[in-house]
């Protein structure tokens, strides 16, 4: 795991006063944080707390109402296309093409990120080997079990070695063993200096992160290393930390 | 360019993996062209005729037989009274009632004129109207026969003074498929271009893959072209299948040449694809896209001149047809197939279609957002 407290390296994500308002409703309300290179940053919050909205502003598909932000060194207002070149994204909904085979999905997504033919062949084969999906290479993605789909989806999101990968509840509905394997993959990616920005509901997963932030009603209510948070809140587990914060929420979960 | 190639490759793979699309491209044009022109034409046959003959004379019987002998009419019944005949109409068993008054033959001989009464069921106004016209025609020629029979050598022919010799141009045998096939092809291209394409894009919205695409560095124009090109090709393939079917089934060879047809279809496809793209930016679900498509399809067909001639529409409707790209395509197809029109004749239509293509696609691209 890489050292995260090194202040001399500029952060890969830095956000100040970021706000997204829909009518009178502030989905994201004035949030400020930095994420260092190679860090695994956990973005926690109850349903409807504003995690996905914040993430969508960072990856350049939603425009912020106000606030400043830089992702991978590019402005989140004016340089979204450059941001997109430097990040990977795995959405809440499964988003590979089910009617394409495993290999065709790899080729397609690698291709549109500009990987050369050799890179596609090498990285693609390496990916297949790492996942042990050699036999499934030619099967339609629709035929894979969910856990495999999620692992494949993650591998494809980092195929072009982005600076940052954004994961929106990547392990939802996945069995514990696969979740474990999934987190091993996240650690491998972080070792390759890919910053991981991940939202989750599972508090055991929060423990795996270098730092976590907890959002309540659109605001970041806590942000620190998991051990420090447990200490600050005088709690035995992240679960207790989360519950004591989330109890303050006035918004109903969706 | 490389990105576009990856997009196209993906799109074609998905299309060929979807048996419904392949079927629609190959089977739909063939079936529609083979079946529809035969089943749905303007000719009205099998009009059910009921006769109420109070005269029971030679001539009333002769006229009845003459009507029954025509392949437009089917003599279903003789009735004793108008009331009984009308009952048949109410039962939907008769479409036209013909009533001979008592003394029909006597009046004809003594006074040289008489009347019959004809009533038509206009619930189906086409059947009622055309049935009356056919019957009048037949009674008219019967009239002439009687005149010649009664006055063998008249000093001056009391019949028609002005005869009409008619010549039907461009479709001399008035074969219906020749008229119908171009229109059916036009509808088909619209389906493939506007609606398959719209559904395809909205499907990506529904599944969520479009969000994934939106966070990649793919440019808007690349995504749009990646969707347009495959369906443009599909449309022209569907048309080729249709033209082949038309050739083998009805010997239809466009007099103006295939080149003009393909050239116009190529521009037309760009226009309707722009329309499909526009629908896809407005609809969030495939269901919505279907409803929007269906709404416009009805307008395109009904205000396109496929069934009703545009010239016989009210003024405001004629103005509306000017904004209906399908109307241009149907007309151009007919002109090339039947009349042999060339590029020079159709130049204004090419220009108009070019404008349609430009406007619709610009609207669609402006409306398509990678970011909200």
Same domain, B209 and B335: yes
pLDDT of amino acid B328? 93
* Complex ipTM value: 0.86
A93, closest residue in chain B (CA to CA): B208
Same domain, B25 and B98: no
A80 in reach of chain B (CB within 8 A): yes
Kindly state whether residue B310 falls inside one of the protein's structural domains: yes
Same domain, B219 and B318: yes
Task: Count CB pairs under 8 A between chains A and B.
Answer: 70
Kindly state whether residue B333 falls inside one of the protein's structural domains: yes
Q: Which one, of A188, A154, A161, lies nearest residue A2 by Cα?
A: A188
Structurally, chain B folds into a number of domains equal to 2
Cβ-based contacts of A152 with chain B (< 8 Å):
none
B209, closest residue in chain A (CA to CA): A95
Q: Which one, of A67, A58, A78, lies nearest residue A26 by Cα?
A: A67
**DSSP string spanning B187-242?**
HHHHIIIIIIHHHHHHHHHHHTHHHHHHTSS--HHHHHHHHHHHHHHHHHHHHHHH
Cβ-based contacts of A85 with chain B (< 8 Å):
217
CB contact under 8 A, B215 and A61: yes
Same domain, B131 and B211: no
Print burial letters for B63-72: b (CB count within 10 Å at least 16), e (below 16).
Answer: bbeebeeeeb
Q: What's B98's domain CATH number?
A: 3.40.1710.10
Please enumerate residues of B whose Cβ is less than 8 A from a Cβ of A. 2-3, 5-7, 9-10, 13-14, 17-18, 207-209, 211-212, 214-219, 370-372
CB contact under 8 A, B216 and A112: yes
Same domain, B145 and B70: yes
A148 in reach of chain B (CB within 8 A): no
Low-confidence ranges of chain A (pLDDT < 50): 1-3, 254
Residue numbers of the domain that contains B75: 47-150
Same domain, B356 and B229: yes
pLDDT of amino acid A1? 44
Kindly state whether residue B170 falls inside one of the protein's structural domains: no
Same domain, B248 and B297: yes
CB contact under 8 A, A95 and B6: no
Would the CA dihedral through A172, A176, A180, A181 be positive or negative? Answer: negative
Interval A106-148: pLDDT, tens: 999 999 999 999 999 999 999 999 999 889 999 999 999 988 9
Distance CA B185, CA B352 (A): 20
What are the backbone dihedrals phi and psi of residue A189, each rounded to the nearest 5 degrees, phi first? -65, -45
Q: Left if phi > 0, otherwise alpha if psi is -120 to 50, otherwise beta: which for B62?
A: alpha
Which residue of A52, A95, A105 is the best one to mutate when testing the B interface, meaning the one whose CB has the most B CBs within 10 A? A95
Low-confidence ranges of chain B (pLDDT < 50): none
Which residue of B2, B5, B10 is the best one to mutate when testing the A interface, meaning the one whose CB has the most A CBs within 10 A? B10
A16 in reach of chain B (CB within 8 A): no
Q: Which are the contacts of A253, defined by CB distance < 8 A and separation ≥ 6?
A: A46, A47, A48
Kindly state whether residue B165 falls inside one of the protein's structural domains: no
Which residue of B4, B15, B217, B372 is the best one to mutate when testing the A interface, meaning the one whose CB has the most A CBs within 10 A? B217
pLDDT of amino acid A8? 62
The residue behind tokens 């062949």 is: A121
Distance CA A121, CA A31 (A): 42
Same domain, B145 and B205: no
pLDDT of amino acid A2? 46
Same domain, B270 and B146: no
A113 in reach of chain B (CB within 8 A): yes
Same domain, B261 and B353: yes
CB contact under 8 A, A98 and B9: no
Kindly state whether residue B167 falls inside one of the protein's structural domains: no
Residue range A13-96+162-246, CATH number = 3.40.50.300
Same domain, B186 and B325: yes
Q: Which two tokens stand for residue B247?
A: 């050739």
CB contact under 8 A, A108 and B9: yes
Same domain, B31 and B65: no
Q: Which residue blocks in B40-163 are alpha helix, DSSP H?
A: 58-69, 82-90, 104-111, 125-150
Would the CA dihedral through B139, B140, B142, B147 be positive or negative? Answer: positive
CB atoms within 10 A of CB B347: 10
| Minimal CA separation from B16 to chain A, in Å | 10
Interval A211-227: pLDDT, tens: 999 998 999 999 999 99
CA dihedral A226, A228, A231, A234 (to 10 degrees): -50
Would the CA dihedral through B109, B112, B117, B118 be positive or negative? Answer: positive
Cβ-based contacts of A76 with chain B (< 8 Å):
none
| Minimal CA separation from B37 to chain A, in Å | 37
pLDDT of amino acid A190? 94
Q: Which long-range contacts (CB under 8 A, 24 or more apart) does B88-92 make?
A: B88/B50, B89/B50, B89/B119, B89/B121, B92/B121
Sheet holding A211-216, edge to edge: A87-90, A164-168, A195-200, A40-45, A211-216, A219-224
What are the backbone dihedrals phi and psi of residue A172, each rounded to the nearest 5 degrees, phi first? -60, 125
Q: Which two tokens stand for residue B132?
A: 């009356």
């Amino acid at each position: 795991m890489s050292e995260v407290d090194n202040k001399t390296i500029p952060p890969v994500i830095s956000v100040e006063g970021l706000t997204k308002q829909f009518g009178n409703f502030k989905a994201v309300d004035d949030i400020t944080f930095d994420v260092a290179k190679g860090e695994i940053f956990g973005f926690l919050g109850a349903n409807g707390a504003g995690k996905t909205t914040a993430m969508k502003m960072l990856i350049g598909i939603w425009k912020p109402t106000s606030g400043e932000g830089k992702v991978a060194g590019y402005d989140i207002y004016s340089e979204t296309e450059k941001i997109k070149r430097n990040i990977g994204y795995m959405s809440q909904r499964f988003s590979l093409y089910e009617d394409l085979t495993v290999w065709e999905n790899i080729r397609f997504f690698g291709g549109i990120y500009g990987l050369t033919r050799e890179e596609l062949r090498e990285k693609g084969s390496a990916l297949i080997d790492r996942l042990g999906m050699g036999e499934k290479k030619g099967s339609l993605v629709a035929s894979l079990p969910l856990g495999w789909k999620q692992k494949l989806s993650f591998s494809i999101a980092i195929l072009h070695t982005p600076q940052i990968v954004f994961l929106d509840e990547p392990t939802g509905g996945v069995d514990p063993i696969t979740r474990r394997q999934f987190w091993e993959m996240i650690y491998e990616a972080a070792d390759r200096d890919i910053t991981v920005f991940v939202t989750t509901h599972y508090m055991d997963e929060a423990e795996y992160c270098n730092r976590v932030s907890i959002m309540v009603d659109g605001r970041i209510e806590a942000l620190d290393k998991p051990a420090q948070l447990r200490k600050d809140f005088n709690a035995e587990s992240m679960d207790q930390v989360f519950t004591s914060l989330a109890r303050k929420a006035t918004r109903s979960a969706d | 360019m490389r990105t576009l190639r990856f997009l196209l490759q993906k799109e074609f793979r998905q299309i060929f993996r979807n048996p419904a699309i392949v079927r629609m491209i190959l089977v739909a044009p063939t079936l529609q062209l083979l079946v529809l022109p035969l089943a749905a034409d303007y000719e009205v046959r099998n009009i059910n005729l009921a006769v109420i003959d109070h005269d029971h004379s030679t001539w009333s019987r002769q006229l009845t037989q003459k009507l029954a002998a025509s392949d437009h009419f089917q003599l279903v019944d003789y009735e004793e009274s108008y009331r009984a005949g009308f009952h048949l109409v109410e039962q939907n068993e008769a479409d036209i009632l013909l009533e001979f008054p008592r003394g029909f033959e006597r009046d004809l001989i003594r006074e040289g004129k008489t009347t019959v009464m004809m009533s038509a069921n206009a619930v189906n106004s086409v059947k009622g109207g055309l049935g009356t016209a056919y019957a009048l025609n037949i009674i008219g020629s019967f009239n002439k026969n009687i005149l010649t029979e009664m006055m063998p050598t008249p000093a001056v022919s009391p019949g028609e003074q002005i005869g009409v010799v008619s010549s039907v141009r461009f479709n001399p045998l008035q074969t219906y498929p020749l008229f119908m096939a171009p229109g059916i092809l036009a509808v088909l291209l619209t389906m493939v271009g506007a609606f398959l394409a719209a559904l395809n894009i909205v499907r990506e919205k529904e599944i969520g893959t479009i969000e994934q695409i939106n966070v990649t560095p793919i440019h808007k124009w690349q995504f749009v072209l990646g969707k347009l090109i495959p369906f443009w090709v599909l449309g022209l393939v569907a048309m080729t299948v249709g033209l082949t079917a038309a050739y083998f089934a009805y010997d239809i060879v466009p007099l103006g040449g295939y080149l003009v047809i393909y050239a116009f279809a190529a521009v037309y496809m760009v226009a309707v694809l722009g329309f499909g793209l526009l629908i896809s930016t407005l609809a969030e679900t495939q269901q919505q896209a279907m409803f929007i498509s269906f709404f416009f399809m009805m307008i395109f067909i009904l205000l396109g001149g496929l069934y009703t001639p545009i010239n016989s529409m009210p003024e405001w409707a004629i103005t509306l047809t000017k904004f209906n790209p399908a109307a241009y395509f149907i007309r151009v197809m007919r002109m090339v197939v039947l009349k042999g029109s060339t590029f020079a004749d159709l130049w204004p239509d090419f220009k108009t279609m070019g404008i349609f293509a430009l406007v619709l696609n610009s609207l669609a691209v402006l409306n398509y957002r990678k970011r909200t």
